[in-house]
Structure 1
Amino acid sequence: MKLSTRLTTTAACVLALSACSKSESPPVATTAAATSEPTCGRVKVANMNWQSAEVLANVDQIILSAGYGCEVELVPGDTMPTLTSMMEKGQPDVAPEAWINAVRQPLDAAVQEGRLHYAARSLPDGGVEGWWIPKYVADQHPDIKTIDDVLKRPELFPAPEAKGKGAVHNCPSGWNCQITTENAFKAWGAKDKNFVLVDTGSAAGLDGSIAKAYERKQGWLGYYWAPTAILGRYEMVKLDAGVPHDKAAFEACNTRADCAAPVRTDWASAEVFTVVTDEFRKRAGPAYDYLSQRGWSNNTVNGLLAWMTEKQANGADAARHFLKTQPTVWEPWVSAEVAAKVRAAVGE
């Protein structure tokens, strides 16, 4: 999955999760896909280079192929080059998980002109960012709901190398979210409230700090995002910023390293859509109906990514695992006839 804070470079992080056991309804659908013979023919589906998008592309490949008779080819992709190619060349046909915040203006223009179309929201929750604490800390201290609340309790989140101070763990070095986290730290006056900002160095370092805290059942406070594998493995609670997202202020100052007066603002929820070409939409028939209904929650994706990490599995493995083990999530996206074909393809 990709981060909205990294959309200025590759439009995502990946970051890319098990709370996914609950049954989900289709986020957009009200009726199942039709069961008439498919007409979609050959379909190029972008296989984006982060885990959540890789899994979704493989889910689409199986359902479109087995359920609708499409000839699906997965092609390498990334947010900017894929969407640019779709806008300019009409290929590939489908981008299953497009994080559109960084390309919203030209993409909206292409949609208004009828060259491209938004199908379902791939992640109805949107990409989520902010400051998080472990659920066991939240359960033990139900008074901690917001960033202001947590900054009153530095003793619960001890800094590893600053005795007597609390720690806020930063985003990995070199990522744009490192800057926004530093500015949030300043905006909330965390230093004056006896906290230090901890440089985790890398994604592995940030993940390792969470794992270590969980193993020892210690307090942890810091920046993270969803959907990601680490949130599928370790249950975390996102703190309420206590203020809405201020887009103008966030972009004008909080995203800049030289921001002199950062403001308190929530992080934006990244919009994540399936994008299709007009040519595909016109010929795909029921296959397009499926893509206009298909979407899953961050909890579901978090769990799948955690399973991938544990099993060292790839996107194709995770897609088959998902289709075998979570029919209550995906079967509402399609008709009973299509669901039977998919179950047969993955081996019930």
Structure 2
Amino acid sequence: MKAFFTSFIFALSLYAGMREAQAAGCGKVSIAQMRWSSAGIAANFDKFILEKGYGCSVTIVNGDTLPTFTSMNTSGTPDIASEFWVKGFKPQLDDAIKAGRLVEGAEILADGAIEGWYIPKFIADANPDIGSVQDALRHPELFPDTYNPSRAAVYNCPESWACEISTRNLFRALNADKLGFALIDSRTPDDFDASIARAFDNKVGWIGYYWSPTSVIGKYDMKLLNFGVPHDQVEWDACTSVRGCPNPKVNAYPVSQAFTLITRSFADRAGPVMNYLKARSWDNETISQVLAWQDENGEDNENAAHYFLENYEELWSHWVPADVAEKVKASL
């Protein structure tokens, strides 16, 4: 009996020691904060959860897609990129994962990045026959140019953005000019967003390119229209995304994916933190709502991350074990 209790106590001590070693093993962690807000907020709620829930010591470092990927792939730093957009890096990323230098975590944007042509939902609700871009273009009277109400308008991105090219080519493919529409190029990003704000303030129609998750989609209730065709990547690369393409065809926008990237060196010592990094994913509606709050209140990414943790417990608490969730909640 004495031998049994001795063995039992030894086993308990060994288990406790393993748990402590796991927690201590997290140690110092560096997380890349990309330049766009959704990624910045994710980096900051990762920091809070890793520090308060798992006992890590986290440093936020500035990052951007290409330099962060290159640094993680060649130097093993930073340890984590919370939101990494795969588009344009798939072959290099696949090679890095296959070689064991990087590990892919959760698809952090559950819905992907959604691009396309939107209209206000109040216009869609009042006109249930409008389900596609082509349907909307049959109603020029619903989408007046705010600067020249005698004509209809499709709103385009600023010239320096890639979406300016695709929107222009799709406008031509749809023969929208023959249906009474003009293509309105936005002078600046603020001018672009202001056109949507004016439409909602004046309760008039608006049609044009936008994307999600964004603060604008979080603030204004918009409906994404379909193009009546599937996405054709070959056509996209050959024409839709090429300035001055002579014969553009109607095409749908691709859905872009964003994953969490982790260096192999951190993954090997992360212990239960890896379960979190492979589990957490948030939807575009939630992201856009948080981005809208951040924009309306002029807050930084750190405070927006706290706002998310304080107001969306039902979502994030499922990413972690109950004891970790309690630690995080107690620290808010």
Q: Specify the alignment match of 2:218 in structure 1.
A: 232
1:320 equivalent to 2:329? Answer no
Please, which of 43, 62, 68 is the counterpart of residue 54 of structure 2? Answer: 68
Cα deviation, residue 200, structure 1: 1.5
SS of residue paired to 2:105 = strand
Whole-Å separation in 2 of the counterparts to 1:283 and 1:241: 47
Q: Specify the alignment match of 1:197 in structure 2.
A: 183
Q: Specify the alignment match of 2:172 in structure 1.
A: 186
Q: Specify the alignment match of 2:292 in structure 1.
A: 306
Cα deviation, residue 102, structure 1: 1.4
Cα deviation, residue 160, structure 1: 2.9
Q: Which runs of 4+ in 1 moved over 4 A?
A: none
What root-mean-square deviation, in Å, do the aligned CA atoms of Structure 1 and Structure 2 show?
A: 1.1
For 1:117, the aligned partner's letter is V
For 1:148, the aligned partner's letter is Q
Please, which of 218, 241, 245 is the counterpart of residue 227 of structure 2? Answer: 241
Cα deviation, residue 164, structure 1: 3.5
SS of residue paired to 2:305 = helix
Whole-Å separation in 2 of the counterparts to 1:208 and 1:120: 34
Cα deviation, residue 40, structure 1: 1.4
Identity %: 43
Cα deviation, residue 165, structure 1: 2.4
For 1:279, the aligned partner's letter is S
SS of residue paired to 1:126 = coil
Q: 1:161 to 1:314 in 2, by over 3 A?
A: closer
For 2:178, the aligned partner's letter is D
Counterparts of residues 210-289 of structure 1 (less than 5 Å)? 210-289=196-275
Q: Specify the alignment match of 2:329 in structure 1.
A: 343
Structure with the higher helix share, 1 or 2: 2
SS of residue paired to 2:82 = strand
Whole-Å separation in 1 of the counterparts to 2:100 and 2:235: 33
For 1:313, the aligned partner's letter is E
Please, which of 106, 109, 113 is the counterpart of residue 120 of structure 1? Answer: 106
For 2:120, the aligned partner's letter is P
Matched residue count: 312
Q: Specify the alignment match of 2:8 in structure 1.
A: none
Please, which of 265, 277, 283 is the counterpart of residue 297 of structure 1? Answer: 283
SS of residue paired to 2:40 = helix
SS of residue paired to 2:52 = helix
| TM score, norm. by length of structure 2 | 0.92
Please, which of 34, 49, 56 is the counterpart of residue 35 of structure 2? Answer: 49
Q: Deviations for 1:95-148, whole angstroms, at most 9, x for unmatched residues?
A: 000011011111111111121111000101001100000010010001100011
SS of residue paired to 2:331 = helix
Larger radius of gyration: 2
For 2:299, the aligned partner's letter is A
Whole-Å separation in 1 of the counterparts to 2:202 and 2:149: 18
Q: Which moved more, 1:61-70 or 1:158-167?
A: 158-167
Structure ranking higher on relative contact order (CA contacts 8 Å, 6+ apart): 1
Q: Specify the alignment match of 2:93 in structure 1.
A: 107
Residue ranges of structure 2 left out of the alignment (5+ in a row): 1-18
Is contact 1:155–1:164 with CA below 8 Å preserved after alignment?
no
SS of residue paired to 2:29 = strand
1:160 equivalent to 2:146? Answer yes
Cα deviation, residue 162, structure 1: 4.2
For 2:270, the aligned partner's letter is A
1:206 equivalent to 2:192? Answer yes
